[in-house]
């Protein structure tokens, strides 16, 4: 167990590389079960970011758990959307489709965060995390949440502390972050296309 959990960043990257392979093969649809498993691997990052992001963790984890539950009866992401369309509950609070869209944003937030970390010189995560939040979530969050997130940014660990918790050095972390960035990009596009091709929108 300890061995398996020893390299969480690598485990995240590998999970998304597997999904990206499915996306690029175009022969099979992405299934809900491996997707939700990959998303649950991302949760370890919250533990590395400190208590300030506890509320983000609870929200993210509950949505991933909903998708994991859904995977017991729904096989693919596109059938998950189609079922909600049939039931006319796509945008309803707590629907699988709505949770999928929120979780997709979480994946995008991590992607932009990694891009910003790789592009930044310093040891602080505040600017990378602020840029990622501003780009991905802030347009969809109300004033109170944005203020709380902005306050939480001051409680982030340093980049060095984060890498230590992830059991990576600068060079190995760079490789895994790059791998996640390119793999998640195609998974994120795939999910957005699922919504857009059904004219469901992604800006809500």
Count H helices and E strands in the chain, helices first.
11, 0
**Segment near ligand 1PZ (CB under 6 A); pick from 19-27, 33-41, 108-116, 173-181:** 108-116
Of 85 and 145, nearer to ligand 1PZ (C-beta) is: 145
Site for ligand 1PZ in 110-129 (CB under 6 A): 110, 113, 125, 129
Of 21 and 118, nearer to ligand 1PZ (C-beta) is: 118
Identify any residues that bridge with 63 across adjacent strands, giving them in sequence order. none
Q: Is the distance from CB of 20 to CB of 180 less than 8 angstroms?
A: no
Contacts of 110 (CB under 8 A, 6+ apart): 42, 45, 132, 180, 184
Q: Cα(160)–Cα(109) distance, rounded to whole angstroms? A: 20
DSSP at 53:
G
Site for ligand 1PZ in 127-166 (CB under 6 A): 129, 133, 137, 140, 145, 149, 156
Q: Cα(90)–Cα(83) distance, rounded to whole angstroms? A: 9
Report if residue 45 touches ligand 1PZ, rule: CB under 6 A: yes
Q: How many CA atoms lie within 13 A of 117 on its CB side?
A: 26
Of 23 and 129, nearer to ligand 1PZ (C-beta) is: 129
State the nearest-atom distance from the C-beta of 142 to ligand 1PZ, in Å. Answer: 8
**Segment near ligand 1PZ (CB under 6 A); pick from 8-16, 17-25, 53-61, 173-181:** 53-61
Please count the residues of this chain forming the interface with ligand 1PZ, following the rule CB under 6 A.
23
Structure token digits, residue 133: 């939040």
Backbone angles phi, psi at 143, to 5 degrees: -55, -45
Contacting ligand 1PZ (CB under 6 A), which of 16, 60, 114, 190? 60
Site for ligand 1PZ in 67-106 (CB under 6 A): 93, 98, 102, 106
Of 133 and 195, nearer to ligand 1PZ (C-beta) is: 133
């Amino acid at each position: 167990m300890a061995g398996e959990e020893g390299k969480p960043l690598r485990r995240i990257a590998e999970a998304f590389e597997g999904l990206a392979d499915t996306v690029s093969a175009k022969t099979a649809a992405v299934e809900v079960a491996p997707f939700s498993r990959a998303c649950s691997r991302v949760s370890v990052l919250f533990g590395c970011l400190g208590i300030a992001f506890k509320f983000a963790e609870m929200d993210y984890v509950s949505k991933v758990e909903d998708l994991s539950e859904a995977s017991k009866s729904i096989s693919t992401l596109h059938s998950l959307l189609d079922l909600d369309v049939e039931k006319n509950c796509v945008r309803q609070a707590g629907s699988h489709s709505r949770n999928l869209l929120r979780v997709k944003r979480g994946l995008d937030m991590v992607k932009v965060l990694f891009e910003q970390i790789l592009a930044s010189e310093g040891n602080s995560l505040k600017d990378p995390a602020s840029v990622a939040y501003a780009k991905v979530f802030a347009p969809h969050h109300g004033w109170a949440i944005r203020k709380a997130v902005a306050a939480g940014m001051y409680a982030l660990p340093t980049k060095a502390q984060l890498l230590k918790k992830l059991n990576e050095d600068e060079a190995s972390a760079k490789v895994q972050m790059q791998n996640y960035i390119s793999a998640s990009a195609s998974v994120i596009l795939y999910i957005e296309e699922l919504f857009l091709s059904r004219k469901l929108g992604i800006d809500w």
